[in-house]
Amino acid sequence: MTASQFWPKAQIAELLLGKVPIVDVRAPIEFAEGALPGSTNLPILDNEQRAQVGTCYKQSGREAALKLGYELVSGDNKLKKIEAWSQFFRNHSSAIVTCFRGGLRSQIAQTWLGEIGIHKQRLEGGYKFGRNFLSEIIQTQSGKISLIVVSGATGAGKSLLLKEVSKTSNVIDLEGLAKHRGSAFGGFVHPQSTQIDFENQLGLRLLELQQTSANKIFIEDESRMIGKCAQPELLFNNLRSSPLVVIDEPIESRIETTFNEYILGSPVGKGISQDGLAIFASFQKSLFSISKRLGGLRYSEVKGDLLNSEKHYQDEFNLASNRIWIEKLLTYYYDPLYQKSLDKKSNSIIFKGNRQEVFEFLKNSTN
């Protein structure tokens, strides 16, 4: 095996920063737990086959496991896998191959592709090395980057503001990396990131920022947990001790922002459908999860409003009544929690204003 057949470990940063596509040939169950950014799963063994080979390895050793693996991936099965890989490489000419350690599975894929004239590198050290590299970036960078934290009550438009700021300044979008809005009602329509994928994406973002020598990095005020994803301790401690800017928007504006994001911006806003009904079911589930904090009477009140909104949606596609339960949820639940948290951080506040005023302040702070 010559050196040219590997993408070398020393150039892992160039691989990740260059957004080089990666064909990950691990089994789907492995890939689902975590993958390098830019990876596509085209497995050499499916989950059941992987389990069979693993059992064979434990019972009969490496050679027997290898023999079984080749038997499982043969004939039409092999041809289909090679065709899937070759199609991917035809569409992504710069792509490389990896498996867990950059060993046997990616080597086999590399060899089979070579036999049909497609010569691709495989990542030296594999996914494991890339994962360790990104974890090290988190350890070395999280505690020393210079942050300005954007806070504000629910519906103040923190994410919208940071999205606009990101066009000209450096931002870490924790909710985007976690694929979760960071609240009891914060699950996106698509599945949330696994903890490992969240960390891998965060490591890549920190690596990107390291290249810019960023003076200030803007980040949203978040709890340690963003849905099921936990911020690394060093980053969270940095966030908690950094200067704070606060968006102060009136309740009417916050209701509209929340309505636009959670109702109009979801399948509910696209018409009557099973997906829309599923969103209302998720709202009910989320509401129940905070029922103890709301108290019995307020929980029943908001639940009744939510059920009424669902009925209006089903019967006549009328969405306006959703503003009623949104307002109560903001004032009964989110605002007291926010104020309690903000009181603890009052000494860290360096600016407070409406969304436009905060935008101007952030823009000027990088000049």
The beta strand positions in 159-300, using DSSP E, are 170-172, 217-220, 225-226, 229-230, 244-247
Place of tokens 């590399």: 110
Residues linked to residue 349 through DSSP beta bridges, in sequence order: 244
Consecutive H or E run containing 339: helix 335-344
User: What 3-state DSSP class applies to 351?
Assistant: strand
CA 307 from chain center: how many Å?
31
Who's near 115: CB < 8 A, 6+ residues apart? Answer: none
Q: Which of 99, 134, 156, 235 is labelled catalytic?
A: 99
What's phi and psi for 319, nearest 5 deg?
A: -105, -10
User: What 3-state DSSP class applies to 151?
Assistant: strand
C-alpha triplet 259, 261, 263: angle, nearest 5°: 55
Handedness of CA 106, 111, 116, 117 (dihedral sign): positive
Cα–Cα nearest to 149, from 333, 367, 361: 361
Task: Compute the distance between CA of residue 24 and CA of residue 156 in angstroms, rounded to an integer.
Answer: 40
The beta strand positions in 156-228, using DSSP E, are 170-172, 217-220, 225-226
Burial-class residue 82 by CB neighbours within 10 Å (0-12, 13-18, 19+): middle
99 is catalytic: yes
What's the start-to-end Cα distance of the chain, in Å?
51
CB atoms within 10 A of CB 362: 22
Catalytic amino acids?
Answer: 99
